């Protein structure tokens, strides 16, 4: 069975499996959601019905107490204060029958009486009452009937709830009639309703979360706070507190002691609190529990069905596994590993910290072997090569046939000379096999090698490794004879950097990654600042710096240095403009100019337009040219310098002494400044015969006579400064004064008035 047929069968099987799986899953999901919605709706409906039953029972009791108290208040209307106590005593027996545990009268003038539990009349002051009762009394004095929050009566020794109503005399409020009812009475009312199971509970909660009455209140003696109840979980407390803040019926569920409980919180109109009912689904509705069981059975059925399909796929997959492995990991022609298997083994050994040298072997001009002899002979050659490689593999080593005539070998040998010796031995044996093709037809190989050690420990991926190998192979192909080439990390890094530079130079210029650094030029006689040279640094992502010696040679070859030099002139003008706007005295800035610029037709116009754009006097810009430029086309250069002079620019010849320019060259060009290369200074400083010093002295003197200022580059020591002062050099530049620094740092160090310049 071929690979295509195997893959086709597996795809059909997998597609059929997933189609049925998704169908069953979709149907089951729909049914489960439908059942869940029905289940939830049923639970909420039954909970709401039962909460309403408790609410009606509770409100009926409250209304009854209210009507009884109002009836007593009507009896006390228009009764003289001195007769209130006697009449109150006559009402005591009736009040006890109504469930009142206390009866009291509070007069407007402060005369207040109450009946004790034994029916005796005693005096009482309103301010001696509990805070809840005081508030209720005040509400009644204002003409309102009021039902207080539940509170603990310290005299009675248990929890009560108070009712108050105004008592009138001649149409005016003469006092307040108050009574108290034990919360146990309301707990009994709730328990008598009997609409919850033994596991569930019903309760009336105050607005602050205190339980006024509960079907379990009589078991725990009085109301309690939700936060202090040992019967509630943190989850239930949190959800109850949220429900108490919302003035409509709320539903939620929670888990407690392995059971799922459902709760309903319903507002009460006549009392500032809410009815709460909690129960299990079985306690709410056995029918609903049956529906849930049915939903679970559907889930189990779906799981079993899915398992059957999965087992079927695994069984069929096992039948084809060996055939697929052979197709997936072996070359059909030679039986060797293919590329996938090779890198799988390599990754496995990498994880065991095993290092390898990877060698990629190519047969030179293999396609001509096919054309000259026959595909049959070339196929036999590939088989013979595989046979030789197998014989030379040591334990833990392996190879693969990558493409038509390419083999990749993993050798545990790491030392290069040893690798070369092993490969040459392999090639020698293969050469003997090649004689079967034709005894007089030479077959040669080229090979690229790279070690896994050359890969970074963090990345360690096949792409990086093979990139190294292919670079080495490409180098080997450049020769016309058999060759073994090894990966050179340093050369690779240079190529990567060059590629990065050429690929990103235009983007970097647009994004301002080329930053201007300034190195001060000092007047040697006084040791004061006279100017600065602009030097470019390529700063990538604000961190990595690419230095000029890495990118300037590339830019000079591809011509990008023209745009960079214009850019640096603009940066210099922008900085001088910044100094002028800040009220600082600017200093001239020297900017290097490539020789290609002077051959630009609009060079001078572009330079002038830059200075005009920023309003910078041209005398502050010094343009530096290399001495070699003067030798190439002195007339062209001289004409360009004259035109620049006409606009006020200063011209400096940079690196004088490194090329072939002579003193005669100076006479041909009207330059303003001569920069002596550092090699001049080093040679003069190290000379014992003073000949080099004499040459340097002559150059400086000739420059002075031609009214050309001189700048000594590479000043690094105090002796350098002393030597150049003695020779009459005008200016100095070098690390003795400062290394090149960012423009902002240069400004703070050398120009701002609150910082003193180095006096050297």
Whichever domain contains 357, its CATH number is 3.30.70.270
> Which one has a higher pLDDT value, 555 or 256?
555
Distance, CA of 409 to CA of 394 (rounded, Å): 11
Q: CB neighbours of 456 closer than 8 A, spacing ≥ 6?
A: 464
- Tell me phi and psi for residue 323, to 5 degrees: -65, -40
Has residue 370 got a pLDDT over 50?
Answer: yes
Q: What is the pLDDT of residues 586-630, one digit of tens each?
A: 999 999 998 888 778 899 999 999 999 999 999 999 999 987 776
The answer to whether residue 110 sits within a structural domain is: yes
Domain of residue 272 covers 188-287
Task: Tell me: do 602 and 696 sit in the same domain.
Answer: yes
Q: What is the pLDDT of residues 750-760, one digit of tens each?
A: 998 765 555 44
pLDDT at 9: 63
The answer to whether residue 89 sits within a structural domain is: yes
The dihedral sign for the CA sequence 7, 12, 16, 18: positive
Task: Report whether 387 contacts 397 (CB < 8 A).
Answer: no
pLDDT at 228: 58
Has residue 485 got a pLDDT over 80?
Answer: yes
For 31-47, what is the mean pLDDT? 77
> Which one has a higher pLDDT value, 395 or 220?
395
pLDDT at 570: 96
* CATH number where 172 lies: 3.30.450.20
Q: Which of 211-225, 355-369, 383-397, 494-508 has the lowest mean pLDDT?
A: 211-225
Give the max Cα distance, the chain. Answer: 147
pTM of the model: 0.48
> Among residues 436, 468, 487, which one ends one of the domains?
487
Q: What is the pLDDT of residues 71-103, one digit of tens each?
A: 888 888 888 877 888 888 888 888 888 888 888
Task: Tell me: do 179 and 192 sit in the same domain.
Answer: no
Distance, CA of 611 to CA of 597 (rounded, Å): 17
CA-to-CA dists, residue 668 to 474, 637, 664, 672, 704, angstroms: 50, 10, 7, 13, 16
Task: Report whether 73 contacts 166 (CB < 8 A).
Answer: yes
> Which one has a higher pLDDT value, 431 or 520?
520
Q: Which residues of 510-519 are buried (b: 16+ CB within 10 A; e: fewer)?
A: eeebbebbbb
The full DSSP string for 209-252 is SBEEEETTHHHHTS--BSTT-TTS-HHHHHHHHHHHTSSS-EEE
Distance, CA of 505 to CA of 514 (rounded, Å): 9
Confidence of residue 743 (pLDDT cuts 50, 70, 90): very high
Has residue 393 got a pLDDT over 90?
Answer: yes
Q: CB neighbours of 731 closer than 8 A, spacing ≥ 6?
A: 521, 522, 523, 524, 530, 531, 709, 710, 711, 712
The answer to whether residue 161 sits within a structural domain is: yes
pLDDT at 688: 52
Sheet arrangement for strand 357-363: 398-403, 406-411, 357-363, 445-451, 483-486
> Which one has a higher pLDDT value, 659 or 221?
659
Q: What is the pLDDT of residues 127-183, one digit of tens each?
A: 888 888 888 889 999 988 888 877 888 888 888 889 999 999 888 888 999 999 988
Task: Report whether 666 contacts 706 (CB < 8 A).
Answer: yes
pLDDT at 8: 66
Task: Tell me: do 231 and 138 sit in the same domain.
Answer: no
Share of the chain above pLDDT 70, in %: 82
> Which one has a higher pLDDT value, 25 or 719?
719
Highest mean pLDDT, choosing among 2-16, 179-193, 656-670, 713-727: 713-727
For 619-644, what is the mean pLDDT? 85
The answer to whether residue 756 sits within a structural domain is: no
The answer to whether residue 240 sits within a structural domain is: yes
Q: Which of 7-11, 571-575, 703-707 has the lowest mean pLDDT?
A: 7-11
The dihedral sign for the CA sequence 94, 99, 101, 102: negative
User: How many other CB atoms are found less than 10 A from the CB of residue 668?
Assistant: 15
The full DSSP string for 472-510 is HHHHHHTSSS-EEEE--HHHHHHHHHHHHHHHHHHHHHH
Q: CB neighbours of 490 closer than 8 A, spacing ≥ 6?
A: none
Task: Tell me: do 197 and 172 sit in the same domain.
Answer: no
The answer to whether residue 49 sits within a structural domain is: no
Q: Which of 258, 65, 97 is nearest to 163 (CA)?
A: 65
The answer to whether residue 713 sits within a structural domain is: yes
pLDDT at 642: 92
> Among residues 467, 487, 507, which one ends one of the domains?
487
* CATH number where 632 lies: 3.20.20.450
Compute, in degrees rounded to 10, the torsion defined by CA atoms 324, 326, 329, 335. -160
Place of tokens 């754009």: 613
For 564-584, what is the mean pLDDT? 95
For 256-261, what is the mean pLDDT? 74
pLDDT at 2: 46
Has residue 674 got a pLDDT over 50?
Answer: yes
Give residue 14's region: left, alpha or beta (phi > 0; psi -120 to 50). Answer: alpha
Task: Tell me: do 196 and 236 sit in the same domain.
Answer: yes
Place of tokens 């983007």: 507
Has residue 224 got a pLDDT over 70?
Answer: no
Task: Tell me: do 138 and 250 sit in the same domain.
Answer: no
Task: Tell me: do 474 and 531 sit in the same domain.
Answer: no
pLDDT at 299: 64
Q: What is the pLDDT of residues 192-217, one digit of tens each?
A: 777 777 777 788 877 666 777 777 65
Distance, CA of 52 to CA of 195 (rounded, Å): 10
pLDDT at 97: 84
Q: Is 439 helix (H, G, I), strand (E, B) or coil?
A: coil
Task: Tell me: do 442 and 509 sit in the same domain.
Answer: no
CA-to-CA dists, residue 159 to 100, 164, 210, 231, 334, angstroms: 13, 17, 12, 20, 96
What tokens were used for 365? Answer: 């001009």
Task: Report whether 200 contacts 279 (CB < 8 A).
Answer: yes
pLDDT at 724: 92
Task: Tell me: do 626 and 524 sit in the same domain.
Answer: yes
Confidence of residue 498 (pLDDT cuts 50, 70, 90): confident
Distance, CA of 35 to CA of 31 (rounded, Å): 6
Q: Which of 110-114, 628-632, 645-649 has the lowest mean pLDDT?
A: 628-632
Distance, CA of 315 to CA of 317 (rounded, Å): 5
Distance, CA of 381 to CA of 125 (rounded, Å): 120
Distance, CA of 21 to CA of 268 (rounded, Å): 51
Has residue 327 got a pLDDT over 80?
Answer: no
Q: Which of 244, 235, 211 is nearest to 225 (CA)?
A: 211
Instruction: Give the count of domains, the chain.
Output: 4
Query: What is the residue-averaged pLDDT of the chain?
Result: 82
pLDDT at 128: 82
Confidence of residue 230 (pLDDT cuts 50, 70, 90): low
What tokens were used for 144? Answer: 């309102």
pLDDT at 219: 43
> Among residues 425, 456, 487, which one ends one of the domains?
487
Has residue 418 got a pLDDT over 60?
Answer: yes
Share of the chain above pLDDT 90, in %: 28
Which parts of 77-201 fold into alpha helices (H)? 81-97, 131-141, 183-193
Q: Which of 228-232, 505-509, 667-671 has the lowest mean pLDDT?
A: 228-232
Task: Tell me: do 180 and 198 sit in the same domain.
Answer: no
- Tell me phi and psi for residue 448, to 5 degrees: -115, 135
> Which one has a higher pLDDT value, 244 or 291?
244
Distance, CA of 553 to CA of 123 (rounded, Å): 111
For 460-487, what is the mean pLDDT? 80
Has residue 534 got a pLDDT over 70?
Answer: yes
Beta-bridge partners for 262: 253, 279
User: How many other CB atoms are found less than 10 A from the CB of residue 586?
Assistant: 18
Q: What is the 8-class DSSP label of residue 706?
A: T
For 300-308, what is the mean pLDDT? 69
Confidence of residue 65 (pLDDT cuts 50, 70, 90): confident
Task: Tell me: do 201 and 166 sit in the same domain.
Answer: no
Has residue 218 got a pLDDT over 60?
Answer: no
The answer to whether residue 550 sits within a structural domain is: yes
Q: Is 629 helix (H, G, I), strand (E, B) or coil?
A: helix
Tell me which H or E stretch contains 525.
Answer: none
Task: Tell me: do 177 and 205 sit in the same domain.
Answer: no
């Amino acid at each position: 069975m071929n690979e295509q047929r195997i893959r086709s069968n597996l795809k059909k099987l997998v597609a059929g499996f997933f189609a049925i799986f998704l169908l069953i899953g979709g149907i089951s999901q729909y049914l489960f959601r439908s059942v869940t919605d029905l289940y939830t709706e049923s639970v909420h409906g039954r909970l709401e019905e039962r909460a309403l039953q408790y609410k009606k029972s509770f409100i009926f009791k409250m209304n009854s107490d209210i009507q009884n108290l109002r009836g007593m208040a009507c009896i006390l209307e228009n009764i003289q204060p001195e007769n209130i106590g006697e009449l109150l005593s006559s009402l005591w027996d009736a009040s006890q029958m109504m469930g009142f545990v206390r009866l009291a009268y509070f007069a407007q003038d402060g005369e207040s009486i109450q009946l004790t539990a034994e029916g005796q009349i005693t005096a009482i002051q309103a301010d001696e009452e509990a805070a809840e009762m005081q508030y209720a009394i005040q509400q009644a004095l204002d003409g309102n009937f009021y039902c207080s929050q539940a509170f603990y009566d310290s005299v009675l020794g248990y929890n009560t709830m108070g009712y108050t109503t105004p008592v009138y005399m001649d149409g005016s409020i003469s006092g307040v009639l108050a009574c108290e009812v034990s919360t146990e009475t309301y707990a009994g009312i709730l328990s008598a309703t009997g609409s919850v199971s033994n596991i569930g509970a019903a309760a009336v909660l105050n607005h602050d979360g205190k339980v006024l009455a509960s079907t379990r209140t009589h078991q725990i003696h009085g109301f309690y706070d939700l936060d202090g109840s040992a019967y509630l979980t943190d989850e239930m407390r949190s959800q109850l507190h949220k429900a108490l803040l919302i003035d409509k019926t709320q539903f939620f569920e929670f888990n407690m002691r392995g059971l799922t409980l459902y709760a309903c919180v319903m507002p009460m109109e006549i009392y500032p609190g809410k009815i709460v009912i909690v129960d299990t689904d079985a306690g709410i509705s056995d029918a609903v529990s049956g529906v849930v069981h049915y939903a679970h059975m559907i889930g189990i059925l779906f799981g079993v069905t899915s398992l059957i399909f999965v087992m079927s796929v695994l069984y069929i997959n096992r039948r084809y596994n060996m055939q697929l492995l052979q197709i997936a990991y072996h070359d059909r022609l030679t039986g060797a590993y293919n590329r996938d298997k090779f890198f799988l083994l390599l990754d496995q050994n990498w994880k065991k910290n095993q290092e390898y040298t990877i060698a990629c072997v190519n047969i030179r001009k293999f396609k001509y072997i096919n054309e000259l002899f026959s595909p049959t002979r070339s196929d036999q050659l590939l088989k013979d090569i595989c046979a030789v490689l197998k014989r030379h593999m040591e334990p833990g080593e392996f190879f693969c046939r990558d493409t038509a005539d390419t083999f990749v070998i993993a050798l545990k040998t790491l030392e290069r000379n040893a690798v070369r010796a092993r490969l040459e031995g392999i090639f020698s044996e293969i050469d003997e096999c090649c004689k079967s093709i034709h005894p007089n037809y030479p077959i040669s190989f080229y090979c690229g090698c790279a070690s896994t050690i050359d890969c970074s420990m963090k990345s360690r991926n096949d792409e990086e490794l093979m990139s190294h190998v292919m670079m080495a192979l490409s180098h080997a192909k450049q020769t016309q004879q058999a060759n073994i080439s090894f990966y050179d990390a340093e050369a690779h890094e240079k190529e990567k950097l060059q590629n990065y530079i050429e690929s990103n130079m235009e983007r970097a210029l647009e994004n301002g990654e080329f930053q201007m650094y300034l190195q001060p030029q000092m007047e040697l006689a006084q040791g004061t600042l006279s100017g600065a040279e602009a030097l470019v640094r390529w700063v990538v992502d604000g961190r990595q710096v690419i230095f000029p010696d890495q990118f300037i040679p590339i830019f000079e070859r591809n011509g990008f240095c023209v745009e960079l030099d214009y850019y640096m002139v603009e940066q210099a003008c922008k900085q001088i403009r910044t100094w002028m706007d800040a009220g600082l005295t600017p200093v001239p800035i020297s900017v290097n100019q490539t020789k290609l610029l002077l051959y630009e037709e609009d060079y001078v116009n572009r330079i002038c337009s830059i200075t005009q754009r920023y309003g910078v006097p041209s005398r502050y810009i010094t343009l530096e040219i290399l001495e070699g430029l003067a030798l190439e086309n002195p007339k062209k250069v001289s004409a360009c310098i004259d035109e620049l002079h006409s606009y006020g620019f200063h011209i400096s010849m940079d690196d004088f002494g490194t090329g072939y320019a002579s003193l005669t060259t100076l006479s041909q060009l009207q330059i303003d400044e001569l920069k002596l290369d550092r090699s001049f200074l080093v040679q003069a400083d190290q000379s014992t015969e003073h000949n080099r010093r004499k040459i340097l002295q002559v150059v400086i003197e000739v420059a002075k006579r031609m009214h050309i200022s001189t700048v000594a580059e590479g000043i690094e020591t105090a002796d350098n400064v002393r030597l150049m002062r003695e020779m009459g050099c005008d200016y100095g530049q070098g690390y003795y004064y400062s290394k090149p620094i960012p423009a902002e740092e240069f400004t703070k160090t050398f120009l701002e008035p609150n910082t003193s310049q180095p006096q050297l």
